[in-house]
């Protein structure tokens, strides 16, 4: 059974950078699509980025394209989200998620993901 634990959230000024990490346990991590989602107060959870099992297929929300980069290290069972040029509207709780359809392609909907981490807060001050 895979479990996900996020880390790396915090407070940063607008224009700054922050890196989030998601550590996974379990033997089948390397075959899962992994995604990052975020949820701001009073808003629905929204897709941020996703990456397929090999790292060769990535998808991004339009709002973060060119600023955020998702990557993975299957040997370390880790997924990271590097966030640059942060904006106040990036403030949210960020969640790591796994789509346990093995060898799948990245999908953008929350319903495609069936395992979630506990979330980590990212706050961008103006």
Q: What is the DSSP string of 17-40?
A: -EEEEEEE-STTGGGSEEEEEEE-
Segments of the chain scoring below 50 in pLDDT = none
Predicted confidence at residue 103, as pLDDT, reads: 84
Predicted confidence at residue 116, as pLDDT, reads: 96
Predicted confidence at residue 38, as pLDDT, reads: 98
In 3D space, the residue among 33, 36, 40 whose CA is nearest the CA of residue 102 turns out to be 33
Predicted confidence at residue 26, as pLDDT, reads: 78
Predicted confidence at residue 64, as pLDDT, reads: 98
Judge contact between 115 and 1, C-beta under 8 A.
no
Predicted confidence at residue 4, as pLDDT, reads: 95
Predicted confidence at residue 20, as pLDDT, reads: 98
């Amino acid at each position: 059974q895979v479990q996900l634990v996020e880390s790396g959230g915090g407070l940063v000024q607008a224009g700054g950078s922050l890196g989030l990490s998601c550590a996974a346990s379990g033997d089948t991590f390397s075959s899962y699509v992994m995604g990052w989602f975020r949820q701001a107060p009073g808003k629905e959870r929204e897709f941020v980025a996703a990456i397929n099992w090999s790292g060769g297929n990535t998808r991004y929300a339009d709002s973060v394209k060119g600023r955020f980069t998702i990557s993975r290290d299957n040997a370390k069972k880790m997924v990271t989200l590097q966030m640059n040029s942060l904006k106040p509207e990036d403030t949210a709780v960020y969640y790591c998620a796994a789509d346990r359809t093995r060898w799948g392609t990245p999908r953008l909907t929350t319903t495609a993901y069936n395992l979630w981490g506990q979330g980590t807060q990212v706050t961008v001050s103006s």
